[in-house]
Amino acid sequence: MDKFLIDGPCRVKGKVLISGSKNASLPILAATLLFDQPVIIKNLPRVRDINTMFNLIKSLGSKVILSKDKKTAKIINSKNMKTFASYSLVKTMRGSILVLGPLVAKYFKSKTSLPGGCLIGARPVNYHLEALKKLGMNYEIKDGYIIAKSKGRLDGKIIKFPKISVGATENSIIAGCIAKGTTILKNCAIEPEIKDLSNFLNSAGAKIKWSGRTCTIKGVNSLNQTEYSVMPDRIEAGTFCVAATLARGNLEIQNLNPKIIKTELNLLKKVGAKIRIEKNKIFIKGPDKIKSIKNINTKAFPGIPTDLQAQLMVLMCKAVGKSSITESIFENRFMHVAELQRLGAKIKIKNNRATIEGNTKFIGAELMSSDLRASVALVLAAIVSHGKSYINRIYHLDRGYEMIENKLKKIGVKIKRLK
């Protein structure tokens, strides 16, 4: 298994081009199952999770033609698509549950594996199932699979989500697009990736309208051919902005509308970063002294994203003074803490709140990645550690960060991938 060797401490300086968003690409690729016409998706990130989704839709009968640079996919569904999403594919990527909505909406049946949990939590899908059930999907759970069917086209309904859920909102929007009548979804997640999914579907003739956390979808009979470019990855952008703040860096983040990470940038300004924004660029300079933030609390958009929590924890380790981070979205998303403690961090955990001492001098060490975002937090910590750090199991990183070592090398990080 590949590992990274990082020789720290390094400062970061230069330009970073943000890749397409993994978490916008996955629901958009799942939604292509609704199409009878070929559909072209551009600006896809070249990361493992996207390949997994390609393999999943190919296993269902879609043809996926990739451009030379692998950032554009032309997807052509066959006349006799399958509706079986196997555990072997779904277990490697939880986002696979997003094929359930389109398969039932389009083919009135599906046997989709339950995704199973992952290191950050049990990851149940009850909100997905309850919403699709209200639209007319009947299902039973058998041998770890969701055996679903509907008596013909789904029926638009008014659905209020009991809790904000990105995936359940996405599955319901996709299914609602070709349901009969109007579907009104309340208490929706409103992450930018969900708006990107809506924009993609509307570009193909869907009728999706937003008002706050309410999404209204007028069902259509079918979707037209379209060509759509996926939004940039705001978590990748946020990660590099944390890197600049952490390592007294000076970065130009290109290819992202700064508005979608306004909350994160305001937090980094409070920490001491100097930030200047232009239409599609962010110039960020890290401070000599990193100010601590009493309590950082992860929330659904537009709050501080849980996917940036681990990265912000590394930043607070280097801050002057005490801070705390509360993880309100997932029940077990502190896997990175034990690894940071091995680098010298002084962090205490009580339930879902971590208290961080600050003023940490990180000393390089052997480290183990656990989930995608925890892994990138270890990379950030290694960048500001004294000496060599080895980060193992970086396949977690490859799931969601496109060629991260190339991007880091370009801004001055001494990093090598060891096979």
Q: Rounded to a whole number, what is the largest CA-CA distance in the chain?
A: 64
Q: What angle do CA 98, 200, 49 make, to 5 degrees?
A: 40
Query: What minimum distance in Å lies between the beta carbon of 120 and ligand EPZ?
Result: 6
Query: What minimum distance in Å lies between the beta carbon of 96 and ligand EPZ?
Result: 9
Using DSSP's 3-state secondary structure scheme, residue 215 falls into strand
Rg of the chain on CA atoms, in Å: 21
Query: What minimum distance in Å lies between the beta carbon of 13 and ligand EPZ?
Result: 27
Q: Which residues bind ligand EPZ (CB under 6 A)?
A: 23, 26, 95, 121, 123-128, 163, 165-168, 189, 306-307, 329-330, 372-373, 400
Between 319 and 377, name the residue whose CB sits nearer to ligand EPZ. Answer: 377
Contact between 340 and 317 (Cβ < 8 Å): yes
Kindly write down the DSSP assignment for every residue of 42-87, as one continuous string: ES----HHHHHHHHHHHHTT-EEEE-TTSS-EEEE--SS---EE-H
Query: What minimum distance in Å lies between the beta carbon of 155 and ligand EPZ?
Result: 21
Query: What minimum distance in Å lies between the beta carbon of 124 and ligand EPZ?
Result: 4
Catalytic residue among 118, 188, 241, 317: 118
Torsions phi, psi for 2 (to 5 deg): -65, 150
Between 323 and 370, name the residue whose CB sits nearer to ligand EPZ. Answer: 370
Between 258 and 400, name the residue whose CB sits nearer to ligand EPZ. Answer: 400
| Residue number of the CB atom closest to ligand EPZ | 167
Contact between 174 and 101 (Cβ < 8 Å): yes
Between 252 and 402, name the residue whose CB sits nearer to ligand EPZ. Answer: 402
Q: How far apart are CA 233 and CA 2, in angstroms?
A: 24
Between 4 and 301, name the residue whose CB sits nearer to ligand EPZ. Answer: 301
Torsions phi, psi for 291 (to 5 deg): -80, 145
Q: Which amino acid is at 218?
A: K
- E strand or H helix that includes residue 40: strand 39-42
Query: What minimum distance in Å lies between the beta carbon of 256 and ligand EPZ?
Result: 17
The region, left, alpha or beta by phi > 0 then psi within -120 to 50, assigned to residue 344 is: left
CA dihedral 33, 38, 42, 44 (to 10 degrees): 40
Query: What minimum distance in Å lies between the beta carbon of 199 and ligand EPZ?
Result: 16
Strand 3-8 to 415-418 pairing = antiparallel
User: Is 241 considered catalytic here?
Assistant: no
Contacts of 393 (CB under 8 A, 6+ apart): 1, 3, 368, 369, 370, 375
Strand 366-368 to 387-392 pairing = parallel
- E strand or H helix that includes residue 282: strand 281-285
Query: What minimum distance in Å lies between the beta carbon of 377 and ligand EPZ?
Result: 12
Report residue 356 as tokens: 């961080």
Between 8 and 95, name the residue whose CB sits nearer to ligand EPZ. Answer: 95
- E strand or H helix that includes residue 149: strand 145-150
- Which residue, among 369, 367, 349, has the nearest Cα to 357 in the 3D structure? 349
Between 27 and 136, name the residue whose CB sits nearer to ligand EPZ. Answer: 27
Q: How far apart are CA 133 and CA 150, in angstroms?
A: 9
Between 45 and 136, name the residue whose CB sits nearer to ligand EPZ. Answer: 45
List active site positions: 118
